[in-house]
Amino acid sequence: DAKTTQPNSMESNEEEPVHLPCNHSTISGTDYIHWYRQLPSQGPEYVIHGLTSNVNNRMASLAIAEDRKSSTLILHRATLRDAAVYYCILDDFGNEKLTFGTGTRLTIIP
Protein backbone atom coordinates (compact mmCIF):
# COMPACT_ATOMS: atom_id res chain seq x y z
CA ASP A 1 0.00 0.00 0.00
CA ALA A 2 1.21 3.49 -0.85
CA LYS A 3 1.99 5.50 2.28
CA THR A 4 1.24 9.03 3.37
CA THR A 5 3.28 11.43 5.51
CA GLN A 6 1.63 14.08 7.68
CA PRO A 7 2.90 16.43 10.38
CA ASN A 8 2.18 15.09 13.87
CA SER A 9 0.48 18.28 15.03
CA MET A 10 -0.60 21.73 13.93
CA GLU A 11 -2.17 24.75 15.57
CA SER A 12 -4.42 27.36 14.09
CA ASN A 13 -6.35 30.35 15.34
CA GLU A 14 -10.11 30.24 15.41
CA GLU A 15 -11.85 31.74 12.37
CA GLU A 16 -8.72 31.55 10.24
CA PRO A 17 -8.09 29.15 7.33
CA VAL A 18 -6.17 25.95 8.01
CA HIS A 19 -4.00 24.12 5.49
CA LEU A 20 -3.23 20.51 6.42
CA PRO A 21 -0.51 18.98 4.20
CA CYS A 22 -0.07 15.36 3.14
CA ASN A 23 2.78 13.85 1.14
CA HIS A 24 2.21 10.67 -0.88
CA SER A 25 5.16 10.40 -3.25
CA THR A 26 4.52 6.73 -4.10
CA ILE A 27 0.88 7.23 -5.10
CA SER A 28 -0.32 5.13 -8.02
CA GLY A 29 -2.57 6.24 -10.84
CA THR A 30 -5.62 4.51 -9.39
CA ASP A 31 -5.21 5.68 -5.79
CA TYR A 32 -7.89 7.99 -4.48
CA ILE A 33 -6.90 10.50 -1.78
CA HIS A 34 -9.23 10.44 1.22
CA TRP A 35 -9.41 12.61 4.29
CA TYR A 36 -11.09 11.55 7.48
CA ARG A 37 -11.10 13.24 10.86
CA GLN A 38 -11.61 11.91 14.35
CA LEU A 39 -13.03 14.12 17.06
CA PRO A 40 -12.29 13.21 20.69
CA SER A 41 -14.06 10.02 21.81
CA GLN A 42 -15.69 9.58 18.39
CA GLY A 43 -15.18 7.26 15.45
CA PRO A 44 -13.55 8.73 12.34
CA GLU A 45 -15.77 10.68 9.97
CA TYR A 46 -15.39 11.22 6.26
CA VAL A 47 -14.32 14.70 5.18
CA ILE A 48 -13.54 14.64 1.47
CA HIS A 49 -11.86 12.64 -1.28
CA GLY A 50 -10.46 13.19 -4.75
CA LEU A 51 -8.45 11.64 -7.57
CA THR A 52 -6.85 14.35 -9.71
CA SER A 53 -8.90 17.54 -9.61
CA ASN A 54 -9.43 19.85 -6.67
CA VAL A 55 -12.63 19.14 -4.77
CA ASN A 56 -14.94 21.24 -2.62
CA ASN A 57 -17.74 20.26 -0.27
CA ARG A 58 -19.55 21.82 2.66
CA MET A 59 -16.86 20.77 5.10
CA ALA A 60 -13.61 21.50 3.30
CA SER A 61 -11.62 21.78 0.09
CA LEU A 62 -9.01 19.36 -1.21
CA ALA A 63 -6.16 20.72 -3.30
CA ILE A 64 -4.20 18.05 -5.19
CA ALA A 65 -0.79 18.78 -6.67
CA GLU A 66 -0.44 18.37 -10.41
CA ASP A 67 1.94 15.41 -10.00
CA ARG A 68 -0.39 13.99 -7.29
CA LYS A 69 2.53 13.46 -4.92
CA SER A 70 1.02 15.75 -2.32
CA SER A 71 -2.31 17.21 -1.31
CA THR A 72 -3.68 19.79 1.10
CA LEU A 73 -6.89 19.76 3.07
CA ILE A 74 -8.21 23.28 3.51
CA LEU A 75 -10.61 24.28 6.25
CA HIS A 76 -11.73 27.74 5.20
CA ARG A 77 -12.66 29.10 8.59
CA ALA A 78 -11.65 26.97 11.54
CA THR A 79 -13.92 26.68 14.55
CA LEU A 80 -13.27 25.05 17.91
CA ARG A 81 -15.31 22.09 16.71
CA ASP A 82 -12.70 21.39 14.03
CA ALA A 83 -10.17 20.35 16.69
CA ALA A 84 -9.50 16.70 15.80
CA VAL A 85 -6.99 14.26 14.35
CA TYR A 86 -7.00 14.47 10.56
CA TYR A 87 -6.02 11.42 8.52
CA CYS A 88 -4.88 11.43 4.89
CA ILE A 89 -5.43 7.99 3.32
CA LEU A 90 -4.79 6.47 -0.08
CA ASP A 91 -7.22 3.87 -1.39
CA ASP A 92 -6.90 1.93 -4.62
CA PHE A 93 -10.34 2.32 -6.18
CA GLY A 94 -12.36 -0.84 -5.77
CA ASN A 95 -10.15 -2.04 -2.95
CA GLU A 96 -12.15 -0.07 -0.38
CA LYS A 97 -9.41 -0.64 2.17
CA LEU A 98 -8.77 2.38 4.38
CA THR A 99 -5.33 2.16 5.99
CA PHE A 100 -4.93 4.85 8.63
CA GLY A 101 -1.62 6.37 9.70
CA THR A 102 -1.12 8.46 12.82
CA GLY A 103 -2.61 11.62 11.30
CA THR A 104 -2.23 15.29 12.24
CA ARG A 105 -3.61 16.51 15.54
CA LEU A 106 -5.14 19.93 14.89
CA THR A 107 -5.51 22.31 17.81
CA ILE A 108 -7.66 25.40 17.41
CA ILE A 109 -6.71 28.39 19.52
CA PRO A 110 -9.62 30.60 20.61
Partner 1 sequence: EAGVAQSPRYKIIEKRQSVAFWCNPISGHATLYWYQQILGQGPKLLIQFQNNGVVDDSQLPKDRFSAERLKGVDSTLKIQPAKLEDSAVYLCASSYPLNTEAFFGQGTRLTVV
Site residues for partner 1 per CB under 8 A? 32, 34, 41-46, 49, 85, 87, 91, 93-94, 96-103
* C-alpha angle 71-110-55 in degrees, rounded to nearest 5: 25
Residue 14 Cβ vs partner 1, minimum distance, rounded to whole Å: 26
**Residue 97: what residue type?**
K
In the complex with partner 1, which residue's Cβ is closer, 94 or 110?
Answer: 94
Helix runs in 1-110, H state only: none
Residue 16 Cβ vs partner 1, minimum distance, rounded to whole Å: 26
Question: Partners of 55 in the beta sheet?
Answer: 62
In the complex with partner 1, which residue's Cβ is closer, 80 or 98?
Answer: 98
Burial tier of 102 (Cβ tally within 10 Å: 0-12, 13-18, 19+): exposed
CA distance 89 to 29: 15
In the complex with partner 1, which residue's Cβ is closer, 41 or 67?
Answer: 41
In the complex with partner 1, which residue's Cβ is closer, 13 or 56?
Answer: 56
Residue 58 Cβ vs partner 1, minimum distance, rounded to whole Å: 14
